[in-house]
Amino acid sequence: MTFHVQRDARTGLRVVVCDDAGPVEDVSRFLESLTLRGLSRYTVEAYAYDLVVVYRWLEMTSKRLEQLRAAELLEFVAAERERGAAPRSINRRLTTCRLLYRFCTGEKLSGGPGAASVSAYYRGQGRDRDLGLHAVKRVGDLSLRVKVPHFLVEPLTADQVLLLLRSLRRYRDLAIVHVMLLCGLRSREVIDLGVDDVCSEDSRLRVFGKGAKQRVVPLSDIVLEAMHRYVRLERPPRCRDENLFVVLQGKRRGCSMTPAGLRRIFRYRRKEPQLSNANPHRLRHTFGADMARAGVRLPILQKMMGHAHPQTTLRYVNLAMADVASEYSRAMREIERWYEQST
């Protein structure tokens, strides 16, 4: 048996379907409950795709969800590592599996012999290690998780940004790159932007982020000018959707862009060796790093980027090695000047 995600024709919701037996009823009820709780459709879809991976593993190992034990999730972790899944993806799927188990059985996934428990916060009860602002509660029994490595944010360089902008041939694409580079929007946020979300009089942009959370970000003159040129010169006068960025040619002319269409803008540019790491989310990283370099305070940057937790925003404060080397060189020149004056 194989599992996949498809859209239910009656409800319009995503469901997990087994090719031999049809929709998985427990999963359908679980996803429907998430929708009723108000979670965005993108979040519900992410749960559905994670559960496809879980059910494929259950089928491969001849296990049943209601008979699952926490110790057996180590086998799932091993299988995911063998597939090359990222640690964050594995942790998300572990959480989704535990949530579905509790939804179906009404109980937490029990441990038993062989269950690996996460070590408690090694310094005990105290304050969080990043900011020192929030009290950390002592946690007794923690769920199985995979250690996630911490990587430095590597933004695009100024030369890469200029090369990317010069390679674009449409005002729409220029406006998209500017709004991601100078406003820090996610790919989905760009696609979901509506014409009415742009307020030219106040130079601000209304954004609907993850979890249907709304925020307002300021617009620079450069971004406004790029948007105005696109709307005035390229955007079809009669579009099928109210989205700001639409398809400009073909049968879907005037329809909203898709995530694949947005990625396509960058895919061809990445063939250039100097732009091999240029992708939509890299522009958001560049925005965060540029704001941190410019001295924007952490709470302001967190609000502009729509982060739920300040720890996420801190990644942009921990600058890349190129920034560290640059500051080190500047400091060394100053130190050498001091010593030269003293001799």
Domain ranges of the chain: 3-111, 160-323
To 5 degrees, how large is the angle CA 287–CA 42–CA 76? 100
Could you check whether 3-111 and 160-323 share the same CATH topology? no
Distance CA 303, CA 291 (A): 12
| Helix residue ranges per DSSP H, the chain | 25-36, 41-60, 73-83, 87-105, 158-167, 171-183, 187-192, 221-233, 259-267, 280-293, 298-305, 310-317, 321-342
Residue 11: alpha-carbon gap to chain centroid? 27
Mean pLDDT to the nearest integer, 212-222: 89
Give the pLDDT score at 123.
46
State the pLDDT at residue 120: 46
| Mean pLDDT value across residues 26-48 | 87
For residues 137 and 132, what is the distance between their CA atoms, to the nearest angstrom?
Answer: 13
The pLDDT score that the predictor gives to residue 20 is: 77
Lowest mean pLDDT among 10-19, 67-76, 136-145, 164-173: 136-145
SS3 assignment, position 141: coil
- What's the pLDDT at 77? 92
Residue range 234-241: average pLDDT?
88
Mean pLDDT of 81-95: 92
- When mean pLDDT is compared across 115-124, 227-236, 329-338, the lowest value belongs to 115-124
The proportion of the chain whose per-residue pLDDT surpasses 70, expressed as a percent, equals 86
Q: Which fold has domain 160-323?
A: hpI Integrase; Chain A (1.10.443)
Q: How confident is the model at residue 116 (pLDDT cuts 50, 70, 90)?
A: low
Judge if pTM exceeds 0.85: no
Provide the pLDDT confidence category of residue 210 given band limits of 50, 70 and 90.
confident
| Mean pLDDT of the region 233-262 | 90
In this structure, which topology does domain 3-111 adopt according to CATH?
A: DNA polymerase; domain 1 (1.10.150)
